[in-house]
Structure 1
Amino acid sequence: MADSVEIVKKFYDETVHYEWDRLDRHKVEYELSKRYMNRYIKPNDSVLDLGGGPGKYSLYLSELGCDVTLADLSQNNVDFAMNKAQEFELPLNSICIDSRDLSAFEDGHFDHVLCMGPMYHLKEENDRVKTINECLKKLKPNGTLFVAFVSSFSFVWDYLISNPGMILTDERKSELNIILDDVNFSGHGFTDNFFIRPKDVLPFFEKFELEKLHLVNCESFLYLREPELLKQSPEVITAWLDLAEQVCEREDLMSLAEHFMYIGRKYKDK
């Protein structure tokens, strides 16, 4: 696991600007995720943004009036986020940290924890469990946990959109066969990655002291046409987002997602 951590850390240290721009390229994911956050996160709430990268969500929530701490494995991402916070004149706390050990924080400190990146890269089940348990320790009773995953179908949609000819190369064809094998993916994707089948997300959380609030398809049904959609007027984009939000929890649309977001509430007596 130590080698895997270094691989992931190096990847994000070298792709800070690309990651900062990613949620502009994938505005559907960003906007739908924010809409669900806004249902629970309010001004003056304390938020831990674990795996927050260069700080898109952290800065958004800081601007909303929250007390935000960004925590990330990549020091370059942390530094970038702090520079952006200074540029935008927004308060932001930060720390470089491994998601599996949050002992730097007081237990029961945060109203909300975002875990919007670690599950993409923790290839071992015990590391994913350890991370969620750490998040729960740092949450207040009744606090909300937001956890993002990448879908095992994401290879298929990405290759179909970006370069359909990839199906003719042996390596890419092997990856695309995931859709035939119907398995989770744990290995080298865009770096060391874990991608999960839609039907495995909710069973994963059954072992934790959480009340399920939502399982969200963060792209709803828009992902395959997102580049074309984002060329439209703001009014058109908003209208499609409004429609997409109303169906993004439908089970029959989950396979269209690139990202899922599980939202749960920590039991009050835990």
Structure 2
Amino acid sequence: MSYLEDFYKAYDEDRRLLSQSGQVEYLTTMKYINECIAEHSQPKILEIGAGTGRYSVTLAKEGHSVTAVELVEHNLEKLRAKLDGTEKIKAIQGNALDLSELADNCFDITLVLGPMYHLYIREDMLRALSEAVRVTKNGGHILVAYCMNEAAVIQHAFLHGNLQKVLDNDMLTPEWHCKSEPKELFQLVRTEDIDSLNSELPVERTKLIVADGAANYISECIDAMDSFTFEKFMEYHFSICERQDLIGASNHTLDILRKL
């Protein structure tokens, strides 16, 4: 866990999500979380891999009942510091691979917005998803975020000039699929990888969303936008974020599942 702990101690995730370019992913994810919330009466919400609480704390402050599970103690401390004691939230340290302290069929909405970024073996990815499904009620929603392969290749290898380093370090398969391991921090997937995982679980997909689309490609442009232009950009983004022809090129996707 040291690579992950060191990364999150040095990285300001809140700051990223609060920038205008980071807001694209955040606002999109919240839009679809709220759509799921609207389908449940007084939903019990679980976030696995809650980070510093950008989503969990927001939802709790909106009056929802939230359980936040986070692996990295540094993140958990930052999450708890945002609470004033009036929120209906339980924040605990835990691992997405083992949620044995949580009962079966307990939550209406389960958020998995970070763990799949940092699991490098298919069996671990499937185990984390299986745990998320287990603790979710039948008919409940599981929202899972992924980092996508093509955005990483385009940006890291080509746009940022790291192609030779990537080739020298044998970080790509002949099919241009990134090879991920703990020291690289992030697991990068394609839509067929996500579909393969889902096929082994008692779930059905309701939507697969482009979470940030072009935002990371043109982050400097978006961060420089005035409020009117940014509002129009978000209108455009929301109009296309369910287009399946754009899924693979997004940095992040959001898979919305319903437990059968």
Question: Does TM, normalized by the shorter one, top 0.5?
Answer: yes
CA contact (8 A) 2:43 2:64 kept: yes
Q: Which position in structure 2 is the counterpart of 1:210?
A: 203
Does 1:22 pair with 2:16? Answer: yes
Alpha-carbon distance in 2 for matches of 1:176, 1:33: 33
Q: Which position in structure 2 is the counterpart of 1:154?
A: 151
Alpha-carbon distance in 1 for matches of 2:193, 2:175: 15
- Structure 1 pair 219–212 and aligned structure 2 pair: CA distance change class (3 A): same
- Structure 1 pair 189–243 and aligned structure 2 pair: CA distance change class (3 A): farther
CA contact (8 A) 1:151 1:195 kept: yes
Q: What's the CA shift for 1:171?
A: 2.1
CA contact (8 A) 2:213 2:251 kept: no
Which residue, 204, 213, 220 being the options, matches 1:220? Answer: 213
- Structure 1 pair 177–11 and aligned structure 2 pair: CA distance change class (3 A): closer
CA contact (8 A) 1:111 1:144 kept: yes
Q: What's the CA shift for 1:160?
A: 7.2
1:32 corresponds to which letter in structure 2?
T
Alpha-carbon distance in 2 for matches of 1:218, 1:40: 16
Q: Which position in structure 2 is the counterpart of 1:248?
A: 241
Alpha-carbon distance in 2 for matches of 1:114, 1:72: 12
- Structure 1 pair 157–33 and aligned structure 2 pair: CA distance change class (3 A): farther
Deviations along 1:191-221, one digit per CA (max 9) or x if unpaired, are: 2x31102332223211111111111111134
Which residue, 67, 70, 73 being the options, matches 1:69? Answer: 67
Which residue, 89, 92, 99 being the options, matches 2:89? Answer: 92
Larger helix percent: 1
Does 1:36 pair with 2:41? Answer: no
Q: How many residue pairs end up in the alignment? A: 256
Deviations along 1:43-85, one digit per CA (max 9) or x if unpaired, are: 8321111011000011121122211111111011111101112
Task: Find the residue that maps to 2:55 and give its secondary structure.
Answer: helix
Which residue, 174, 177, 185 being the options, matches 2:179? Answer: 185
Please identify, of 61-70 and 199-208, the stretch whose mean Cα deviation from structure 2 is larger.
Answer: 199-208
Identity %: 23
Runs of 4+ in 1 over 4 A off after TM superposition: 173-177
Please identify, of 20-29 and 221-230, the stretch whose mean Cα deviation from structure 2 is larger.
Answer: 221-230
Q: Which position in structure 1 is the counterpart of 2:4?
A: 8
CA contact (8 A) 2:69 2:94 kept: yes
Alpha-carbon RMSD across the aligned residues, in angstroms, is 2.4
CA contact (8 A) 1:119 1:149 kept: yes
Q: Which position in structure 2 is the counterpart of 1:136?
A: 133
Please identify, of 174-183 and 95-104, the stretch whose mean Cα deviation from structure 2 is larger.
Answer: 174-183
The TM-score, its normalising length taken from structure 2, stands at 0.88
